[in-house]
Amino acid sequence: MGSWQWNDQQRPTNTVGARATIGAVTMKDDPQAAQRPYVFVRGLDSKLHVNWWDGKAWHWSAQGAPSGRSVIEKVGAVTVQDNPTAVQRPYAFVIGDDSHLYVNWWDGSKWNWSAQGTPGGRLVREGVGVVTVQDNPNAAQRPYVFVLTDDFRLWVNWWDGAKWNWSDQGAPPSRTISRPLGVTTMRDNPNAFTRPYAFVITDDSRVWVNWWDGAKWNWSDQGAPSGQPVKKGAGVVTVQDNPNEVERPYVFIQGYDSQLYVNWWDGSKWNWSAQGTPGGRLILDSVGTVTMKDNPSAFTRPYVFVIGDDSKLYVNWWDGSKWNWAAQGTPASRVIERPGEAITVQDNPNATQRPYAFVITDDSDLWVNWWSLP
Domain annotation covers residue 344? yes
Along the 374 residues of the chain, how does pLDDT read in single tens digits?
789 999 999 999 999 999 999 999 999 988 889 999 999 999 999 999 999 999 999 999 999 999 999 999 999 999 999 998 899 999 999 999 999 999 999 999 999 999 999 998 999 999 999 999 999 999 999 999 999 999 999 999 999 999 999 999 999 999 999 999 999 999 999 889 999 999 999 999 999 999 999 999 999 999 999 999 999 999 999 999 998 899 999 999 999 999 999 999 999 999 999 999 999 999 999 999 999 999 988 999 999 999 999 999 999 999 999 999 999 999 999 999 999 999 999 999 999 999 999 999 999 999 999 999 87
* Domain of 313, in residue numbers: 1-20+277-374
Domain annotation covers residue 311? yes
Domain annotation covers residue 9? yes
Domain annotation covers residue 355? yes
- Sort strands 217-223 and 230-239 into parallel, antiparallel or unpaired: unpaired
**Closest residue by Cα to residue 184 from 152, 144, 220:** 144
Q: CA 211: distance to chain centroid?
A: 17
- What is the rounded CA–CA span in Å between residue 224 and residue 206? 5
* Domain tally, the chain: 1
- Sort strands 58-64 and 48-53 into parallel, antiparallel or unpaired: antiparallel
Instruction: Specify the amino acid at residue 323.
Output: W
Q: Sign of the C-alpha dihedral, residues 315, 78, 365, 94?
A: negative
pTM for the structure as a whole: 0.97
Residues sharing a CB contact under 8 Å with residue 109, sequence separation 6 or more, in sequence order: none
Angle (CA) 63-67-69 rounded to 5° is: 90
Domain annotation covers residue 13? yes
Domain annotation covers residue 185? no
Domain annotation covers residue 5? yes
